[in-house]
Amino acid sequence: MENVILVIHLILALCLIGIVLLQRSEGGGLGMGGGGDVMTGRAAATALGKLTWIFAIGFIATSITLTVLARQEAASSSVMDGVVLDDAAPASTDAPALPSGSDLLPPSSSDAPLAPPRAD
């Protein structure tokens, strides 16, 4: 089921890209281009415009469907399900011993080197 929706999603994406590239650029962006009714500033709906809306709605619907399906599949399994823990195996002792906690701290003020005497 998920593969069928994914194939439809990819076909819709390619169709949407093709339809958008086929449309005529009116410039101005954000609906400020010329054409259409002068009073409303809205262009007449063309066949390509309607197809763009149909493909966009289908693309969004398949995106949401794929997200829901992936979430349901993720809820039923965990990454830790594939991990096999063997409590009988001894821990490896090949690793070097770590220094004690005091070796990792910066030197205190009493450990700081003395300042050289000033020559007056």
Q: Per residue in 36-48, pLDDT tens?
A: 555 555 556 788 8
Domain boundaries, the chain: 1-24+46-73
Q: Which residues of the chain have pLDDT under 70?
A: 27-44, 76-79, 85-107, 109, 111-113, 120
* DSSP characters over the chain: -HHHHHHHHHHHHHHHHHHHHHSPP-SSSTT-SS-S-TTT--PPPPHHHHHHHHHHHHHHHHHHHHHHHHHHHHHH--GGGGPPP-TTSPPP--SPPPPPGGGGSPPPGGGSPPPPPP--
**How high is the pLDDT of residue 19?**
93
Give pTM, 2 decimals: 0.52
